[in-house]
Amino acid sequence: MSTTRLGGTGLEISNVVLGMMSYGDPTKGSHEWSVGIDEARPFVRRAFDAGITTFDTANVYSDGSSEEITGMLLRELGPREDVQVLTKVFNRMRPGRNGAGLSRVAIMHEIDASLTRLGTDYVDVYQIHRFDPNTPVEETMGALHDVVKSGKARYIGASSMWAWQFAEMQHTAELHGWTKFVSMQDQYNLLEREEEREMHPFCEHTGVGVIPWSPLARGKVTRPWDAQGSGSRADTDQFGKTLYRQDEDANRAIVGTVEQIATDRGVSMAQIALAWVAGKSAVSAPIVGATKEHHIDDAVAAASIDLTEDEVTRLESAYTPRVPSGF
């Protein structure tokens, strides 16, 4: 697998990022469907052997145990500099005051806690998981700048929020000469394209790399529409149940087109859907999860698929405007 630069930076990442949310202690946090280290190990090794060197997690995933598993498994792969580690801060990690959010207190505490769980001295990209309306933007950006200057993070990134909020944070950093975000991790897939309106043009114009989460729409674009997902995650993923509920007729048509193109090409639906995301100029690399071997294989194969203009037009034609979701 080839590499790409994250936005306008010099940081090389793999063309696919492995999302580590699926790995953690299922008894901790709200991810009852997560799997432990022994089940996760072959997926991480398979991904690394295929050329995936970039791994994304968050402090809140399985109450910190995802970071612990990520750190342990990545140390088994080789030297720290051979991989790129991304994690996030925002959600509640401890009870009481300053146990969540993007205050200076929370950020300084949580970066140290994340590094301890990951077993590393630094992360390559430290991301804010959401926008914090209760903390002044100056406080958040100043704290993140100090995290970078302390050597605990090489870069900083952001995740789902309104484009105006992201622009405000970037402008604040620029005014003060502070570190700016280099990446935006947002929801982007064939069933949720609202980021094309403002966020992605802004990112492209300012050199910010986009690393979409849920590029396969929680699996909805990987199987025929009537073949609903089953299993522990489909049953217990409460956040996932809030997504892709708008305009079912349009979604059904989109998924049908994915199926048709996949059949014509003799590849999986996942490969077509991922190739569409990866082919967008704003996107640096999609983030994919893996709990089955073919998930890794599909992600790697998708990186080499070039969709024709006609195929792209067919995939996009049934989409309808909708209220942004996921943040």
User: What residues are annotated to the active site?
Assistant: 61
User: Alpha helices of the chain — where are they, by DSSP H?
Assistant: 37-49, 65-77, 104-118, 137-149, 163-176, 199-206, 232-236, 248-265, 269-278, 293-302, 309-316
Q: What's the distance, Cα to Cα, between the start and end of the chain in Å?
A: 32
Evaluate whether 102 touches 91 at the Cβ level (below 8 Å).
no
How far is the C-alpha of 31 from the C-alpha of 131, rounded, in Å?
Answer: 22
How far is the C-alpha of 237 from the C-alpha of 231, rounded, in Å?
Answer: 10
Give DSSP secondary structure letters for 241-307: GGSS-S-HHHHHHHHHHHHHHHHHHTS-HHHHHHHHHHTSTTBS--EE--SSHHHHHHHHHHTT---
Report residue 258 as tokens: 């994915």
How far is the C-alpha of 121 from the C-alpha of 291, rounded, in Å?
Answer: 28
Helix axes 269-278, 293-302, angle to 10 degrees: 50
